[in-house]
Amino acid sequence: MMYSNLQDCITDLEKHGHLVRIREEVDPYLEMAAIHLKVYEAGGPALLFENVKGSKFRAVSNLFGTLERSKFMFRDTLEAVQNVIALRNDPAKALKNPFGHMKSGLAAMKALPLKTTGGQPVTAQEIQISDLPLIQHWPMDGGAFITLPQVYSEDPDKPGIMNSNLGMYRVQLTGNDYEVNKEVGVHYQIHRGIGVHQEKANKKGGPLKVSIFVGGPPAHTLSAVMPLPEGMSEMTFAGLLAGRRFRYSYVDGFCVSNDADFVITGEIHQGETKPEGPFGDHLGYYSLTHPFPLMKIHKVYAKPNAIWPFTVVGRPPQEDTSFGALIHELTGDAIKQEIPGVKEVHAVDAAGVHPLLFAIGSERYTPYQPVKQPLELLTIANRILGTGQLSLAKYLFITAEEDQRVDTHDELGFLSYILERINLHRDIHFYTNTTIDTLDYSGTGLNTGSKVVFAAYGNKIRELCIEVPDALKGLQGFVNPRLVMPGVVVMEASKFTEYTQAEREMHVLSEAIQARGSMAGCPMIIVADDSDFISAHMNNFLWATFTRSNPSHDIYGVNSYYENKHWACDNVIIDARIKTHHAPPLIPDPAVEKKIERFFVKGAVLGGLKGL
């Protein structure tokens, strides 16, 4: 099924049992988001909210809530897109078998955007921001946000759709100091294409024209988050995935997506910012209030019977997790072509994606040497940390397969493989005073923090402990030790106050462990606020440890030392306590949780909406 608009998709999903309608009036303040979260958690259907309080427009969420549903929506184009991307990554395939790839060529013909003239459905009515479903997702959010925007900008030096950028940068519609119906905030982070365009506009001394598309075929939404091969634009990909050319026109000098449900046009002027946030984000915490670009509204359009798509993010997994799974299905082995020697890279969703990367590379530099150690892996690690969005990673664990098959998506097995082989006196490499994810508040400031690479290769050098070692029991000030996984133990300590005190505490811990003798089977010790929580589930460990620590400041070691500026230790200690400068975690409003119970069958599994 190839959809020309969002309504076609909704009709198709409902026909095949993938969508339910909610006809009762629902409040966009917290209620809609809370319903979405419960239904997503249960693996439930897409939701069409037909009666949004305060707005005449309908809203839909959870379209991409399961990989099964995402693949269903793109069932007629998925294979063709995969083939085109594979050819883009490896053109030699087409040369070897040109007739076998004719279908890919025909599919690619749909990729060229189509400019049209005349009146378009999306410009049929001019509305205001206040007419939209103003959805607030979390109690401490600064206002209502667009969470599935397609933010369009063009290169001021080379205008036109083929030199455009389409990105999913959240947009704050209300709250803070924004003048309602005249201003919105555009939150874009580092390593984003729109930033390059704004810099060029600034140099020319003029504003950057921006169009925000909302809705349209689901392919357009997905295109805004796709990490595409070099040279492939989001607009061509949108046509390829939709099986239908991306149709656009220009109105008042602004690009308009003719198939969108809503279009907001406006300008971003040099040096004009306003406080944006807070916003409950995909790391499971609030991103706080910071100055971000201000977009001055030109016009807001809506097609007849327009539908407002949205999602809700929070501690993973959430719907954006399913986005990631679909992207992996589409791109396949693209990373292997981009970074020579890489076999696999996995941004660990449970840890909020950017804080933690697992990678498998190659180790071919010195096969003649009897001692196996990371060499090529370190070159690959530098390439990974210098590539696109991967450069935002904070922790990178990398290895090369020897005699045992390793899978980065098996988090327990992969970490065990690393910890069995890592030489803690040689294989830990820090990058200090560098960039990290804008949404990560574990660092020293916005976008700033550190990175660390744990590189392991060679024979197994230790047996990992499978119970808490005696050396970690009965330590003063460090209580309730719990085994997280083989080789990793978590302990509780008093609340973090400041780093000078933390250094003293970790020194005391190190000295106490040293006094009890070697503990080689436990290469990693976590210090936390709640060891029962951390050890209860692997996802808890991955989330709390790697979102609440800044490598340069929060990694300590038993018997640690420097040799020629290289840091080493006998056992790694990670202080994963909540710090005073961290953003608060996302906590649902109990009153809202109680209120939405009316939408669920009493006693049923979450997701058992009335009428299902």
**Of 263, 260, 193, residue with least CA distance to 227:** 193
If you average pLDDT over residues 46-55, what whole number do you get? 98
If you average pLDDT over residues 387-407, what whole number do you get? 90
Greater confidence, 103 or 290?
A: 290
pLDDT at 402: 77
Q: How do beta strands 208-214 and 262-276 pair?
A: antiparallel
Give the distance, in angstroms, between the CA of residue 513 and the centroid of all CA atoms in the same chain.
38
pLDDT at 369: 77
Average pLDDT, rounded, for the chain: 91
Q: How far is CA 601 from CA 48, 320, 597, 607, 612, in A?
A: 18, 27, 8, 9, 10
- Domains 6-76+112-310 and 335-584 equal at CATH topology level: no
Question: Which CATH number is correct for 335-584, 3.40.1670.10, 2.60.40.1120, 3.10.105.10, 2.30.140.10?
Answer: 3.40.1670.10
> Tokens for 245?
């050319």
Question: How many other C-beta atoms are found inside a 10 Å radius of the C-beta of residue 565?
Answer: 6
**pTM here?**
0.90
- Give the range with max mean pLDDT: 190-199, 322-331, 349-358: 349-358
Residue 552 parent element (H or E): helix 551-554
If you average pLDDT over residues 232-261, what whole number do you get? 93
3-class SS shares of the chain: helix, strand, coil, % to 5: 30, 25, 40
pLDDT at 367: 76
Question: How many angstroms separate the CA atoms of 441 and 355, rounded?
Answer: 11
**Quick one: pLDDT band at residue 118, thresholds 50, 70, 90?**
confident
Phi and psi, residue 314, nearest 5°: -175, -160
Query: Does the pLDDT at position 333 exceed 80?
Result: no
pLDDT at 384: 93
Domain 6-76+112-310 architecture: Roll (2.30)
> Locate tokens 């959870």: which residue?
62
Question: How many other C-beta atoms are found inside a 10 Å radius of the C-beta of residue 363?
Answer: 22
> Tokens for 487?
């080789």
Greater confidence, 401 or 351?
A: 351
Domain boundaries, the chain: 6-76+112-310, 335-584
- Start-to-end Cα distance in the chain: 24
Tell me the DSSP string of 67-99: HHHHHHHTTTTHHHHHHHHHHHH-THHHHH-TG
- Give residue-wise pLDDT tens across range 62-84: 999 999 999 999 999 988 888 88
| Buried/exposed 371-387: b ≥16 CB within 10 Å, e otherwise | eebbbbbbbbbebbbeb
